[in-house]
Amino acid sequence: MADKVAGRRGRRLQGQGAEAQGNEPGLTRERIAATAVGMLDANGLNGLTMRGLAEALGSGVMSLYWHVQNKEDVFDLALDSVLEYRGPTALQDWRGDIVHVLEDWRATMLRHPWSASLLPRRALGPNILVRLERLSKCLSAGGVSDTDVNAAIWSLWNYVMGATVTRAGFGPSDEDRAASQQRLAELGALYPSIEHSRLLLDDDWDGTFRRGLDFLLDGIAPKR
Amino acid sequence: MADKVAGRRGRRLQGQGAEAQGNEPGLTRERIAATAVGMLDANGLNGLTMRGLAEALGSGVMSLYWHVQNKEDVFDLALDSVLEYRGPTALQDWRGDIVHVLEDWRATMLRHPWSASLLPRRALGPNILVRLERLSKCLSAGGVSDTDVNAAIWSLWNYVMGATVTRAGFGPSDEDRAASQQRLAELGALYPSIEHSRLLLDDDWDGTFRRGLDFLLDGIAPKR
DNA sequence: GGCAAGACTCGTACAGTGTACGAATTTATT
DNA sequence: AATAAATTCGTACACTGTACGAGTCTTGCC
């Protein structure tokens, strides 16, 4: 009952006899994925509906289902298409490389905030494995022992994941910040340490991400 | 257009004249929350429907809406009711205390896997703030400087968050593991480092969590 | 040419969702 | 007893994902 691989084809070439508008060149998984990403970017996770997607593609709703198993499949498609990693630099400074990989990762996901809430519950797509592989290489190059490397990778993964999901959840809107501020003002007395450190008011997300990452890398770096 | 605080009352006391069965003692936010948690535990995030909830409570669907703003509100209720923290021990060993807080946190959320996917996108409820406050105190007690404490708290938060969300996402089912194994077998050649370290096959989640946490705490601990 | 076998599109229909609205009922207050 | 407030809930609506099967188009084979 698991997975039956539905038929899917790539096929081009159709006579544009009647309509000169080449705007709707036939459905493909790629086109579906791209359009889905657009809609998700624009309207968030709930902004994607099969009907809407079909309309944006200029097709009937049920036509999608020939290319796609179900809505979940569309999510998978969109997610993976967003997570491509173009690793530019060659290996040199292991620590700097890791920072780069993770910051790029975070930035990519924050550019499409829905991806953060989507990623956890999906299996690891190829584009994620590429990133993990790269991490693994960097760590080994940095002298992290074989016994530590797995825990290190997962801890880095967890860190990026948590940071991104949290950041995406709080959204760029000031509404949440206002809410936090409000809540803090009300209950501040109950949480003196939090209030003292202004934990919830700080909004230097990038800096905090970077500094926490340094903590983690300090701990991972082989002790001397 | 933001928030109108709906009326909500706590009220007890009704004559049980007609029906002796005290099984349905009237709706309250608490009862709604408890029942919602039960349904979420049993059937996951999609297992909670307003109709189902009403039925389980022995009430009409729309009656819920007098106590609750909307379904989101039910989620908030359920989440917060699950995250209560009964901090047992007094402060002593800062590092051990932190480990305890975080492991308890993770365990609590994994006991209700839906909570992991829910938490990120909600505002911080009081029960979470309690935990953060506690973290903050431990860190200060451990000698972490005021300038570092925020970054440290967030990094710990991120770490627990990521670990829990990931773990909950992969579910306890072996189906996912089988899928990963399959994928790895297929593409193993492309990801030699990952395959070598058996990253995806290791299933000692608790141990890995603990070891990664040690990395992080090593990095956070004040340098000497 | 004819024609059959796929590949692909899509209209209709159905069961299910959250919740707006307003009427009915119960409880509290005067 | 009368009035107001609190609480319940039936009905209705717009919207969701997708099963089903009838259509159309493209291609290869005789």
Higher-scoring residue by pLDDT: A187, A136: A136
Residue A4 domain-assigned (yes or no) = no
Interchain proximity B148–A124, CB inside 8 Å: no
Same domain as B108, residue B212: yes
Decide if pLDDT at B8 tops 80.
Answer: no
B109 and B202 belong to one structural domain: yes
What span, in angstroms and rounded, lies between the C-alpha atoms of B82 and B37?
8
Q: What is the pLDDT of residue A132?
A: 92
**Any idea which of B43-47, B52-56, B87-91 has the lowest mean pLDDT?**
B87-91
pLDDT at site A224: 67
Residue B27, both tokens: 């709706």
Cα distances from A186 to residues A159, A181, A195, A198, in angstroms, run 30, 9, 11, 14
Residues of A in contact with B193 (CB under 8 A): 133, 136-137, 140
Contact A165 B120 (CB under 8 A): yes
What's the mean pLDDT in A81-103? 87
pLDDT tens digits, B124-177: 778 888 899 999 999 999 999 999 999 999 999 999 999 999 998 876 666 666
Q: Please report where in the chains the tokens 């004559």 appear, as a residue.
A: B15
Return the sign of the alpha-carbon dihedral for residues A193, A198, A200, A205: negative
At B109, the amino acid letter reads M
Binding residues for strand C (Cβ < 7 Å): A 7-9, 11, 26-27, 59-63, 65-67; B 11, 13-15, 48-52, 61-62, 65, 70-72
Residues B108 and B216 in one domain: yes
**A 58-117 residues, CB < 7 A, strand D:** 61-62, 65, 70-72
Task: Between B5 and A223, name the one with better pLDDT.
Answer: A223
Query: How long is the CA A59 to C1' D22 vector, in angstroms?
Result: 17
| pLDDT of the residue at A22 | 43
Residues in B closer than 8 angstroms to A146, CB to CB, are: 197
Classify A94 as helix, strand or coil.
Answer: helix
Torsion of CA A199, A202, A203, A204, to 10 degrees: -100
Q: Tell me how far apart the alpha carbons of residues B60 and B105 are, in angstroms, rounded to a whole number.
A: 35
A172 or A170, which is more confident?
A: A170
Q: What is the CATH number of the domain that holds B152?
A: 1.10.357.10
Q: Which pLDDT band holds residue A223 (cuts at 50, 70, 90)?
A: confident
More reliable by pLDDT, A179 or A214: A214
| A78-112: burial string, b at 16+ Cβ within 10 Å, e else | bbbbbbebeeeeeeeebbebbbbbbeebbebbbeb
In a domain, residue A42? The reply is yes
Residues 6+ positions from A10 with CB-CB distance below 8 Å: A28, A29
Q: Please tell me which residue, A218 or A130, carries the higher pLDDT value.
A: A218
Look at A1-15, B46-60, B117-131 and tell me which has the smallest mean pLDDT: A1-15
Are B193 and B100 within one domain? yes
pLDDT at B2: 35
Q: In B59-204, which residue ranges form alpha helices assigned H by DSSP?
A: 64-67, 71-82, 94-111, 113-118, 126-141, 146-170, 174-187, 192-197
Supply B204's token pair.
């000692």
Query: In 10 A of CB B113, how many CB atoms?
Result: 20
Residue A78 lies in a domain: yes
Distance CA A209, CA A206 (A): 5
Nearest C-alpha in A relative to B187: A126
| Placement of tokens 């009430």 in the chain | B59
The whole-number Å distance from A125's CA to C10's C1' is 32
Using a 7 Å CB cutoff, list residues 160-219 of A near strand D: none
Provide the pLDDT for residue A181: 67
* B172 and B124 within one domain: yes
Q: Does pLDDT of B51 surpass 90? A: yes
Say yes or no to pLDDT of B50 above 80. Answer: yes
Q: What is the pLDDT of residue A3?
A: 36
Q: Is the pLDDT of residue A60 over 50?
A: yes
Residue B4: inside a domain, yes or no?
no
Q: What percentage of chain B carries pLDDT values higher than 90?
A: 60
Task: Give pLDDT, residue A100.
Answer: 94
Domain final position from B20, B52, B82: B82
For A159-224, give the DSSP string. HHHHHHHHHHHH-S-HHHHHHHHHHHHHHGGG-HHHHHHTTTT---HHHHHHHHHHHHHHHHSPP-
**pLDDT tens per residue, range B52-75:** 999 999 999 999 999 999 999 999
Quick one: B113 and B171 in the same domain? yes
Residue B131: inside a domain, yes or no? yes
Q: How far is B26 from chain A (nearest CA, A)?
A: 30
Measuring from the CA of residue A8 to each C1' atom, give the nucleotide at the shortest distance.
C7
Amino acid residing at B14: Q
Q: Residue A7: pLDDT band by 50, 70, 90 thresholds?
A: very low
Q: Are residues B119 and B75 in the same domain?
A: no
pLDDT at B9: 39
| Percent over 70 (pLDDT), chain A | 80
- What residues contact residue A75 under an 8 Å CB cut-off, 6+ apart? A36, A48, A118, A122
Q: C1' nearest to CA of A13: which nucleotide?
A: D26
Residues B133, A193: C-beta atoms closer than 8 Å? yes
Quote the pLDDT of residue A94.
92
pLDDT, greater one: A182 or A30? A30
As given in the structure block, the two tokens for residue B178 are 């089988």
In the predicted structure, residue B100 carries a pLDDT above the cut 80: yes
Residue A21 lies in a domain: no
Cross-chain residue pair B123–A176, CB shorter than 8 Å: yes
Q: Does residue B110 come out as left (phi exceeding 0), alpha (psi in the -120 to 50 range) or beta?
A: alpha
CA distance A202 to A122: 32
Contact A139, B147 (CB under 8 A): no
- Residue–nucleotide distance: B76 CA to D6 C1' (Å): 24
Cβ–Cβ below 8 Å for B197 and A150: yes
* Same domain as B99, residue B76: no
Q: Is the pLDDT of residue A122 over 70?
A: yes
Q: How confident is the model at residue B180 (pLDDT cuts 50, 70, 90)?
A: low
CATH (domain of B74): 1.10.10.60
- Across the interface, whether the CB atoms of A159 and B160 are under 8 A apart is answered no
Specify whether the CB–CB gap between B194 and B200 falls below 8 A: yes
Domain membership of residue B89 (yes or no) is no
Q: Are residues B55 and B98 in the same domain?
A: no
Is B131 found in the same domain as B50?
Answer: no
Is there a single domain that holds both residue B104 and residue B194?
yes
Is B133 in the same domain as B53? no
Question: Where in the sequence is the domain holding B33, given as residue range(s)?
Answer: 29-82
Say if B133 falls within a structural domain: yes
* A interface test, pick of B197, B203, B208 with most A CB neighbours within 10 Å: B197
In terms of residues, how long is chain B? Answer: 224
Q: What is the pLDDT of residue B117?
A: 86
pLDDT of residue B175: 62
CA distance A32 to chain B (A): 24
Domain total of chain B: 2
